[in-house]
Structure 1
């Protein structure tokens, strides 16, 4: 009985995308702590986490007339339509109130921003909304390069660039765009590209049946694992080593920072073994959360 309750609880956390909100907060905290700036306000964390969950809930929205699905995640949305709808409403209210609060507190400083910030925000908005299958237009998620790239870009912007920008316009805390910022941004971007391709490997059969032109559908699981995922992970590994040398970090701190990427490499080797969708959600998204935790601890423990 207890196992069933725990299993249902885990299903709610991951199938409902609630974990994406926690992931967003973790990565945002990692950014501020690694850059060495104060944390953002509670309003900001409520806004960015609720927005992240809403983003994925809308993407996985199921048709009203659909009553059964072979996909356990889709079936979860069918079985819990009322609770998911209520969850959406609550998140929307939280997102609106926290967003309006942020707007009021930072309104005077918004118009002092350099035009490049507006360009980045507008570009990110259009890229992120192109993830959806809009009836009136083009969905970039259906094309090979765009799906992992736009996911990685959106997450890197909202978890590395956005918290620092909001900190500046809300509290007047200026952040320096230096090598540390670019490293963290690139690192997060690469993590999410690998994350997105791993999900495509998991969804190979489903994407093939739906005609989605993902990397995995076009080139196959083994090719993507050996020629794309593992080389990207190796590049990430090298970037950590170079970062450690660049900033003269102690060896034990550099090794500590390498743990998440080594775990990701280990998990990549096990991708071909059939597991449940819930397992993949926990493991693949969990890798990103581990990255955030180790990033935070690398500063708290060694500085």
Structure 2
């Protein structure tokens, strides 16, 4: 009787690795959070092409470090996944770069009259977030010698700042620019930007726990390296979500949010606290990618539902 060997990795695991290791989940999270932020600011949603390009841009950015140089020897499962699929990722990046390039040319040509009306505030907001994101990996695109990632305590705030701009400001800014309208500063827009900045920065800090040993060895002073896990949980993971929750409650009370809407939008904050407490135990990389990063999608889902009820 012939024995058919079982695959060491199930189909479900392969799909999960493709989505999470390949950074496609980040693209999904960007789209969901952009929809959430647009609804919360009272604007109509952008067309499907905008969200497709937001998805592609995010995946392209996060896959960039794995393409510009061949991954070094490592026991990290994600690095090994990229090493095995290096040619596919290269082709994927080239395809995405082509789409983004063509889309940029089309945008500049089709909306040239509206773009000419853009003021300094428009251009500042357009450029500040890509500039910070570029410096995160390195000032020189051909070398990562100088990059903001080496400033351990600043790293999570850079991630939070860039993501918050992408999901909170860009959807509205895009609508303003194609219509030739000024970008209007609003208190709800500022509050939403800060809320997303705080939430996403805390998630980035949680990821630093995974890299504690490597960061400590490389003398990268992240919060967990400087404070230790216990102090980080009680001095940062608990206070920051609670502060964000209190800020939201103040705003919700002033604007007379009904209880169901308030409850739906508060749930992600409590889940964030529980996720932080869960990291007292050693967790796998996939746990961080699914559970910790998954909180971005959870927050967006509850926020969207809250705006529709």
TM-score (structure 2 length as normaliser): 0.90
1:162 match: 170
> C-alpha distance in 2, partners of 1:86/1:60?
12
Is residue 268 from structure 1 mapped to residue 273 from structure 2 by the alignment?
no
Is residue 25 from structure 1 mapped to residue 21 from structure 2 by the alignment?
no
Q: What are structure 2's unaligned runs of at least 5 residues?
A: 1-5
> C-alpha distance in 2, partners of 1:13/1:111?
39
Q: Which of 189, 199, 207 pairs up with 1:199? A: 207
Deviation of 1:60 (Å): 4.3
Aligned 8 A contact 1:46 1:94 in 2: no
Equivalent residue runs for 1:216-231 within 5 Å: 216-231=224-239
Change in Cα spacing, 1:266 to 1:90, as seen in structure 2 (3 Å) is same
What SS class does the counterpart of residue 37 from structure 1 fall into?
Answer: coil
> C-alpha distance in 1, partners of 2:132/2:71?
29
Deviation of 1:9 (Å): 0.3
1:45 match: 51
> C-alpha distance in 2, partners of 1:60/1:221?
29
Equivalent residue runs for 1:108-257 within 5 Å: 108-133=113-138, 134=140, 135=143, 138-172=146-180, 176-257=184-265
> C-alpha distance in 2, partners of 1:79/1:41?
36
> C-alpha distance in 1, partners of 2:287/2:206?
13
Aligned 8 A contact 1:244 1:254 in 2: yes
Deviation of 1:132 (Å): 0.7
1:69 match: 74
> How many equivalent residue pairs?
300
Kindly name which structure, 1 or 2, has the bigger radius of gyration based on alpha carbons: 2
Aligned 8 A contact 2:67 2:86 in 1: no
Deviations 1:158-211 (A, max 9, x none): 111111111111245666422211121111111111011001112111222333
> C-alpha distance in 2, partners of 1:166/1:246?
29
2:107 match: 102
Q: Which of 81, 85, 90 pairs up with 2:90? A: 85
Change in Cα spacing, 1:199 to 1:102, as seen in structure 2 (3 Å) is same
Aligned 8 A contact 2:159 2:204 in 1: yes
What SS class does the counterpart of residue 131 from structure 1 fall into?
Answer: helix
The worse-fitting range, judged by mean Cα deviation, of 168-177 and 15-24 is 168-177
> C-alpha distance in 1, partners of 2:163/2:228?
26
TM-score (structure 1 length as normaliser): 0.92
Aligned 8 A contact 2:60 2:97 in 1: yes
Deviation of 1:297 (Å): 0.7
What SS class does the counterpart of residue 188 from structure 1 fall into?
Answer: helix
> C-alpha distance in 1, partners of 2:126/2:289?
28
Is residue 6 from structure 1 mapped to residue 18 from structure 2 by the alignment?
no
Aligned 8 A contact 2:264 2:303 in 1: no
